[in-house]
Chains A and B, each alone.
Chain A
Amino acid sequence: MSEFLIHVAAVSCLYGILALALNLQMGFSGLVNFGLIALFGCGTYGAAFAHLWGWPPLAGLALGLIFAALMGLFFARLGARMSEDYWGIATLSLAEIMRLVFTNEQALAGGAQGVSGLPVSFAGLAGQGAGLSRLALYAALLAAAFVLCQRITRSGFGMALKMMREEPQLARALGYDLGRMRAIVMVISSLMAAVAGFLYAHYLSFVGPEQLMSHETFLIWSMVIIGGIANNWGVVAGAFLMQFALAYVPFVKDWLDMPSDFVAATRLVIVGGGILAFLIWRPKGLFPERIGGSHG
């Protein structure tokens, strides 16, 4: 019973980190990234390669972080010459290209069959020890990511990011180097996403290209939109809310004695309908951005 709760909470923590990463890009800096899942994928495939090549798992983390930093820089460079909406489309394409390469290059990492049998973190602990240790680790990392994001967004740099979001021309006129700011934000948030990806891979024990489908990015978007764009508390709340809502649909099915396909339909309604409802009635989310001063 509570084991399931621990599982959902653990996965929620990982999604919380992803939501914070997206929030840093999209919420605070105005970088509309539709390809976040690719940065997450850098982490999962870092773990997968380490497993395939017989490296220790932590080497996989290093590999994933290097992939992610490079990918983040590439995303940022790409953005330098494009307006915001075109950049969004470019990020979506990049993520799709990455997914297609991993699907088709069967020699690289198993193609569509993926890589299975990755060691599960804390698998050696008995009973609920493994689940609790994982939850503690993920929660600690989520807290660290949260503190990092809070510090960034409350700093002078964070104010500059908001100015880049609202008035890029003005920011440029005031002497801010927007390209450099973009690069810093992208690298930091890419590393966060990759850490989440690495942990996810060693939790699920399987890495495959199907995990990089674009709707996964939109799930994270829904968390940010529902929780509250540009509010770090909000997006973490959004991540937990969405994960728990999705995970508990099957219980509602059992309870109401509904057919099993009810679950699939309800999940679609929660993600799609959730985004739509919030965009229409509460566009700032559950916890709106606080404007003004460094106490936001």
Chain B
Amino acid sequence: MTRTTPALATLLAATTLLSAPAALAEITLGAVIPLSGSNATPGEDQRRGIEIAVKEINAAGGVLGEPLKVIVEDSAGKPQTAIDAARKLVTVDEVPLVIGSYSSGITLPMGEYLVQEGIPHLNPASTSGLVRNIGDSSFSMVGLDNVSTEFAAKEVIANGWKNVAVLAVNNAFGQGVAQEFQKHLEAMGGGVKTSVLFTGGQPSYRRELQQLEATDPDAYVFTAYGTDAALIMQESFELGLQEDAPWYSILITMMNKDTAPEFKQGLSGMDVGYLGAGGEGYAATYEADYGETFLSAYGGYAHDAVLFAAKAIEKAGSTDKQALLTAIRALGDEGFTGATGEIKLDANGQRMSQPYLKFKVEGNDLVQMD
């Protein structure tokens, strides 16, 4: 025991020293996003969104007269790591609010932890319908997948595609999209001939594509990330699937950047409107700061989550949890305009409506349709 006591003391001392707040006169928020692992690209986009929001707020005088700071922690795409990070933010950095994360499989357990602690949680990206049930002090800055897939299903029916084949990535997000899309399409009189879920990171998707082709659908509806999607588009082109039937992408900005133009001719799709009225300033700052256009559709929501939180703290007049929760609800009721348009929250704290955009591919670029 004599040997362990100094070790424990050292550890406590280290915890205290290493976590000493940088400056007292600062409003500090926390964010947990995927900066490593398979979702590192949208995670980086979220980080940029947060960074721009912090700059904007501080340039305009900060929050309650103090400079704003957001401590960004990596979720590594793993629930345990994300919860550890959230615990660190809550118990050591003592932040009054946590933003996060990206995948629903991580946002759900992390949100539940935050709800237990009574810390306000802003979800900037996860669209699984299960997010609705996280709890009282959890709020979504993004519309959930029941809303986005309904939009996509309407589009598909409007295009005259009755029976479609669905391809989605096999994770919490993809499974949710496939289920919800099928539900909406069937309610509108259409049908899903087959739903194929693929495992990301494969060297080839020919097996999955041939499985889809065998059902002879009116259209192929898919949702996939970055390089996986690029390979899927290339192989569907090579197999002649793109000549058989049109392709439609749910959340098209997730995949457009990585896909070469010759493999995506005639592709159309939808995505969350990552720019609402008043979002031009954000887009301009983003391009000026990072020298490229958005990496994904999600930076804007992370950006708005920070602005929303800052506004709520202003409204509450302090970072007291209860006051902040009341202020968030009030702000959600009256509506708040960020880069992604007006954010209004329903009784469950979920974003009620949000702009969805129709896109088609022209050359390498996405062109918005009316």
Q: How far is the CB of A117 from chain B (nearest CB, A)?
A: 7
B18 with A248: CB separation less than 8 A: yes
A5 to B92, CA, bound (A): 9
Closest to A200 in B: B80
Contact of B91 among A1, A113, A117 (CB under 8 A): A1
Q: How far is the CB of B65 from chain A (nearest CB, A)?
A: 24
Residue A291, interface by CB 8 Å:
no
Residue B335, interface by CB 8 Å:
no
Specify which chain B residues have a CB less than 8 angstroms from the CB of A255 in the assembled complex.
17-18
Interchain pairs with CB closer than 8 A, number: 123
A120 with B116: CB separation less than 8 A: yes
Closest to A116 in B: B108
Specify which chain A residues have a CB less than 8 angstroms from the CB of B322 in the assembled complex.
none
Contact of A206 among B47, B79, B87 (CB under 8 A): B79
B36 with A261: CB separation less than 8 A: yes
Specify which chain B residues have a CB less than 8 angstroms from the CB of A58 in the assembled complex.
none
Specify which chain A residues have a CB less than 8 angstroms from the CB of B276 in the assembled complex.
none
A17 to B22, CA, bound (A): 37
Given contacts A206-B79, A263-B73, contact A112 B105 (CB under 8 A): yes
Residue B16, interface by CB 8 Å:
yes
A260 with B47: CB separation less than 8 A: yes
Closest to B176 in A: A113
Q: Which of the candidate stretches A83-91, A103-111, A144-152, A159-167 sits at the interface with the other chain? A: A103-111
Q: How far is the CB of A242 from chain B (nearest CB, A)?
A: 13
Specify which chain B residues have a CB less than 8 angstroms from the CB of A113 in the assembled complex.
104-105, 108, 128, 130, 172, 175-176
Q: Counting chain B CB atoms within 10 Å of each CB, which of A113, A246, A267 scores highest?
A: A113
Specify which chain A residues have a CB less than 8 angstroms from the CB of B91 in the assembled complex.
1, 3-4, 7
Contact of B80 among A106, A204, A263 (CB under 8 A): A204
A257 to B133, CA, bound (A): 36
Contact of A211 among B79, B88, B108, B128 (CB under 8 A): B79
Specify which chain B residues have a CB less than 8 angstroms from the CB of A206 in the assembled complex.
79, 108-109, 112
Specify which chain A residues have a CB less than 8 angstroms from the CB of B258 in the assembled complex.
none
A264 with B76: CB separation less than 8 A: yes
Given contacts A112-B172, A114-B172, A251-B18, contact A265 B128 (CB under 8 A): no
Specify which chain A residues have a CB less than 8 angstroms from the CB of B367 in the assembled complex.
none
A106 with B116: CB separation less than 8 A: no
Residue B71, interface by CB 8 Å:
yes
A11 to B116, CA, bound (A): 18
Contact of A112 among B15, B88, B112, B170 (CB under 8 A): B170
A250 with B112: CB separation less than 8 A: no
- Report the interface size class on chain A: 35 or more
Specify which chain A residues have a CB less than 8 angstroms from the CB of B175 in the assembled complex.
106, 111-113
Specify which chain B residues have a CB less than 8 angstroms from the CB of A114 in the assembled complex.
105, 108, 172
A205 with B15: CB separation less than 8 A: no
Residue B150, interface by CB 8 Å:
no
Given contacts A106-B175, A123-B116, contact A260 B170 (CB under 8 A): no
Specify which chain B residues have a CB less than 8 angstroms from the CB of A244 in the assembled complex.
11
- Tally of contact residues, B, Cβ under 8 A: 48
Given contacts A113-B104, A113-B176, A261-B74, contact A205 B16 (CB under 8 A): no
B87 with A4: CB separation less than 8 A: yes
B85 with A250: CB separation less than 8 A: yes
Specify which chain B residues have a CB less than 8 angstroms from the CB of A7 in the assembled complex.
84, 87, 91
Residue A210, interface by CB 8 Å:
yes
Specify which chain A residues have a CB less than 8 angstroms from the CB of B172 in the assembled complex.
111-114, 208
A117 to B73, CA, bound (A): 24
Residue B279, interface by CB 8 Å:
no
Specify which chain A residues have a CB less than 8 angstroms from the CB of B170 in the assembled complex.
103-104, 112
Q: How far is the CB of A125 from chain B (nearest CB, A)?
A: 12
Q: Which A residues, 110 to 144, have Cβ-Cβ distances below 8 Å to chain B?
A: 111-114, 116-117, 120, 123
Q: Counting chain A CB atoms within 10 Å of each CB, which of B16, B78, B80, B116 scores highest?
A: B80
A222 to B36, CA, bound (A): 21
Specify which chain B residues have a CB less than 8 angstroms from the CB of A211 in the assembled complex.
79-80
Specify which chain A residues have a CB less than 8 angstroms from the CB of B85 in the assembled complex.
250
Q: How far is the CB of A166 from chain B (nearest CB, A)?
A: 32
Q: Which B residues, 226 to 241, have Cβ-Cβ distances below 8 Å to chain A?
A: none
A254 with B74: CB separation less than 8 A: no
Specify which chain B residues have a CB less than 8 angstroms from the CB of A250 in the assembled complex.
73-74, 85, 88
Residue A252, interface by CB 8 Å:
yes
Closest to A2 in B: B12
Known: A1-B16, A1-B91, A252-B18. 18 other contacts (CB 8 A): A1-B15, A4-B15, A5-B12, A112-B172, A114-B105, A116-B108, A116-B130, A120-B116, A204-B79, A204-B109, A205-B113, A210-B78, A210-B105, A246-B84, A248-B14, A261-B35, A264-B37, A267-B81
- Which 6 A/B pairs are nearest by Cβ-Cβ distance? A264-B36, A206-B109, A251-B18, A3-B91, A113-B172, A4-B91
Query: Can you list 13 A-B contacts (CB < 8 A)?
Result: A2-B15, A3-B91, A111-B172, A116-B108, A116-B109, A117-B133, A205-B116, A210-B105, A251-B18, A254-B71, A260-B73, A263-B74, A264-B35
